[in-house]
Amino acid sequence: MKEYRQARFQRPPGATEILLVRHGESRAATPDQPFPLVDGHGDPELHPNGREQAERIGARLRHQPISAVYVSNLRRTAETAAPLCAHLGLAPIVDPDLREVFLGEWEGGLLRIKAHENDPIYQRVQLEQRWDVIPGGESHDALGERLTKSLERIARHHPDQLVAAFVHGGVIAHILAHATGARPFAFTGADNGSISHIVMVEGRIMVRRFNDCSHLYEEMSVAAGAMT
C-alpha cells in the first residue's frame, strides 16, 4: 500500500530565505550620556553581553550556506554581524532601509527611560500599537514602505539563496506582523541575538520561525538564561 508521509518544508524555486538576526544587547541608556545619533537615530555600541551574543551567533551560523550578510546603517548591527562575516569571509552589505523604527523626540536612549518610568505617552504607544504616538515618531505606513523596499531588493538579488540580515527589534516585529496579519506589536520582544526566519516568494512572506535563542542558552524559562 502506498504511504503518504508528512513532508519537510522545502524552499520554493526562486524564493529567498532570510534570517532576521536581532543585534546583540547595546549599552545601557543614561540621562547624562545619550546615545550618539546617525541621521537622527540613536547609535549605541554593543554592551559586553552583546559582544558575547555576537560570537555565539557567529558560531551558530558559520556552517550555514549564507550567500550574503546585510546590516543597517547603525553600528550595533555591524558589530553583531562581524564574527559571522569573519567566519564566512563576507563583507556586510549596508542597507539603511533596515534601520530601527524612528522614535522622533525619544531617540538617543530616551525611549528606554520613558518605558521604565511608564510614561503616559509610552502607555499610549502600547495601547494603540503605534510608534507615531511619540512626537516625531515613524508611522506604521512609513516603516512598512521602507522595509518592503528593502526586502524586495534582497529577494531580487538573491533568488534560491539564504541570506542573513542583522536588524532591530522593531523591524522584526513589523515584518512578522505584516506577514501574518497580526496586530502591529504582536511580535515585539524578540530577544537580543535571536534569529527569526522568513521566506520571500513571489512577493509573499512565509514565516518559518521567531525568536530562536537556542545558541544563547538552553533553558526554556524567559528568566533563566539572562547574562550579567
Contact in structure between 28 and 228 (CB atoms under 8 Å): no
Catalytic residue among 17, 23, 107, 158: 23
Instruction: Take residue 106 and report the three cell numbers written for it.
Output: 525619544
Pairing label, strands 195-201, 16-22: antiparallel
Told to judge if 174 belongs to the known catalytic residues of this protein, a careful annotator would answer no
pLDDT in tens, 149-188: 999 999 999 999 999 999 999 999 999 999 999 999 999 9
Question: 10 Å Cβ neighbour count for 227?
Answer: 15
pLDDT at 222 over 70: no
Please give the average per-residue pLDDT across 3-17, as a whole number.
Answer: 94
Please give the average per-residue pLDDT across 80-104, as a whole number.
Answer: 98
Catalytic residue among 17, 25, 100, 138: 100
pLDDT in tens, 135-152: 999 999 999 999 999 999
Instruction: Take residue 203 and report the three cell numbers written for it.
Output: 512577493
pLDDT confidence tier of residue 219, bands split at 50, 70 and 90: low
Please give the average per-residue pLDDT across 194-216, as a whole number.
Answer: 96
Contact in structure between 167 and 77 (CB atoms under 8 Å): yes
Q: Where are the chain's structural domains? A: 16-100+150-212
Round to whole Å and give the CA distance between 96 and 72: 5
Round to whole Å and give the CA distance between 2 and 222: 44
pLDDT in tens, 95-133: 999 999 999 999 999 999 999 999 999 999 999 999 999
Fold of 16-100+150-212: Rossmann fold (3.40.50)
pLDDT confidence tier of residue 217, bands split at 50, 70 and 90: confident
Q: Give the residue ranges of DSSP H helices in 21-139.
A: 48-61, 75-88, 110-116, 120-128
Told to judge if 117 belongs to the known catalytic residues of this protein, a careful annotator would answer no
pLDDT in tens, 32-59: 999 999 999 999 999 999 999 999 999 9
pLDDT at 224 over 60: no
pTM of the full structure: 0.94
pLDDT confidence tier of residue 92, bands split at 50, 70 and 90: very high
With both helix axes pointing from N to C terminus, report the angle between 169-180 and 140-157 in degrees, rounded to the nearest 10: 90
Round to whole Å and give the CA distance between 138 and 32: 25
- pLDDT for position 218: 64
pLDDT at 223 over 60: no
User: 88 vs 222, which has greater pLDDT?
Assistant: 88
